[in-house]
């Protein structure tokens, strides 16, 4: 992703308490009748518990494959693993082969991995993340590392790890809505600063752009979408990202209020973040209101965490509590729909 910022990526419980434990009582006294009123029932939704250890293990597995860069054996092995995990959790799985052209003319053999839960339901929610890792550590403090690849523990594996745990929970207990989980490819192959090619517009999120033009189902619609990007970092704060506020302010409010009601206010800040060119921008342009839950750091030049697009984006900087805050919030949102 890239960033423009600083002006510059069921159960029903009746609530009754009348005359002790009586649900309804009519008392007649001469010509007067007194009736108790029945309060409306309040729905209590049983939301699954997000297992941060499980999400972390899914992250570790991805990182263990190595760099998930298109056109590499490690990329192919990871794609096979992700598809098999979605299938194992009960999803109808489609792997969309997407040949896309990078900023330098390289044809990337990308793969968008799609898991469809409850395909018969028309009321649907879209959850998505990118699963590739960046070929260039072009934000590393050591310029010698700028042409080295990024392992992408947080930027890549964290969103996918959280969504695989959510998929596991959906497989055990379905929400009322249908859910589509998509792992988009070639998001992080954007043009680096040192490129000698002419500037290329829309060089990021290539897999998402492909899917928007050719969705897995013709005329595909979802009520809203949630993108998870860099959701496992230590000391993470998720500000209200500007593109999300532009396209889907109501969804931002829904998710942030849910997080805060669950006690995750220290992670989900009401402050406004930067405008991120990320997968959700293209999904929004498709007509599906979508938001980006993405770590924001106002103190850094990039607006992201210190490990972003560096060789230090490793599991050493992952915090399970951050994963828990994001994953539990997303589960609570979809199970309350």
What is the pLDDT at residue 1? 63
List the structure tokens of 57: 């293990």
Output the tens digit of pLDDT for each of the chain's 337 residues: 655 543 335 333 333 333 443 333 433 444 444 343 444 555 678 999 999 999 999 999 999 999 999 999 999 999 999 999 999 999 999 999 999 999 999 999 999 999 999 999 999 999 999 999 999 999 999 999 999 999 999 999 999 999 999 999 999 999 999 999 999 999 999 999 999 999 999 999 999 999 999 999 999 999 999 999 999 999 999 999 999 999 999 999 999 999 999 999 999 999 999 999 999 999 999 999 999 999 999 888 899 999 999 999 999 999 999 999 999 999 999 999 9
What is the pLDDT at residue 44? 76
- With both helix axes pointing from N to C terminus, report the angle between 159-172 and 52-65 in degrees, rounded to the nearest 10: 130
What pTM does this model have? 0.88
CA gap 162, 160 in Å, rounded: 5
What is the pLDDT at residue 2? 57
CA gap 244, 252 in Å, rounded: 7
What is the pLDDT at residue 18? 36
CA gap 11, 22 in Å, rounded: 21
CA gap 142, 165 in Å, rounded: 35
In this structure, are strands 124-130 and 224-229 parallel, antiparallel, or unpaired? parallel
Asked if residue 9 lies in contact with residue 278, where contact means CB atoms within 8 angstroms, the answer is yes
Phi-psi region of 7 (alpha: psi -120 to 50; beta: other; left: phi over 0): left
Domains of the chain: 2-9+48-335 (3.40.630.10)
Strand-pair partners of 277 = 2
CA gap 257, 263 in Å, rounded: 10
* Of 233, 234, 252, the residue nearest 242 (C-alpha): 252
Phi-psi region of 186 (alpha: psi -120 to 50; beta: other; left: phi over 0): left
The torsion defined by the Cα of 50, 51, 56 and 59, in degrees rounded to 10, comes to -50
The whole-angstrom distance between residue 173's C-alpha and the CA centroid of its chain comes to 19
Three-state DSSP at 265 gives coil
The torsion defined by the Cα of 226, 229, 233 and 235, in degrees rounded to 10, comes to -60
In this structure, are strands 2-4 and 11-13 parallel, antiparallel, or unpaired? unpaired
Phi, psi of 34 (to 5 degrees): -110, 125
The whole-angstrom distance between residue 323's C-alpha and the CA centroid of its chain comes to 11
């Amino acid at each position: 992703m890239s960033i423009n910022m600083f002006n510059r990526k069921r159960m029903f419980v009746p609530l009754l308490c009348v005359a002790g434990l009586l649900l309804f009582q009519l008392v007649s006294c001469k010509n007067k009748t007194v009736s108790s009123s029945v309060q409306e029932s309040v729905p209590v939704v049983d939301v699954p518990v997000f297992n941060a250890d499980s999400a972390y293990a899914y992250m570790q597995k991805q990182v263990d494959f190595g760099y998930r860069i298109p056109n590499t054996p490690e990329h192919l092995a990871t794609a096979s693993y992700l598809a098999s995990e979605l299938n194992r959790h009960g999803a109808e799985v489609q792997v969309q082969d997407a040949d896309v052209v990078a900023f330098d003319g390289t044809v990337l053999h990308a793969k968008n991995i799609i898991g469809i839960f409850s395909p018969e339901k028309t009321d649907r929610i879209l959850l998505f993340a990118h699963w590739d890792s960046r070929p260039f550590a072009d934000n590393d403090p050591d310029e010698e590392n700028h042409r080295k690849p990024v392992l992408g523990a947080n930027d890549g594996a964290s969103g996918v790890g959280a969504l695989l745990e959510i998929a596991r929970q959906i497989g055990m207990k379905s929400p009322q809505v249908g859910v589509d989980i998509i792992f988009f490819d070639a998001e992080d192959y954007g043009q680096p600063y040192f490129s000698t090619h002419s500037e290329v517009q829309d060089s990021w999120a290539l897999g998402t752009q492909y899917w928007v033009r050719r969705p897995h189902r013709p005329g595909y619609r979802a009520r809203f979408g949630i993108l998870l990007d860099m959701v496992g970092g230590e000391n993470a704060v998720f500000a209200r990202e500007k593109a999300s506020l532009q396209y889907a302010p109501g969804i931002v409010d829904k998710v942030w209020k849910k997080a805060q009601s669950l006690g995750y206010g220290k992670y989900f800040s009401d402050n406004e973040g930067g405008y991120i060119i990320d997968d959700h921008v293209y999904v929004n342009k498709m007509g599906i209101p979508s938001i980006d839950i993405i770590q924001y750091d106002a103190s850094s030049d990039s607006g992201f965490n210190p490990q972003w697009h560096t060789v230090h984006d490793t599991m050493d900087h992952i915090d399970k509590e951050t994963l828990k805050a994001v994953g539990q919030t997303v589960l609570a949102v979809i199970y309350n729909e």
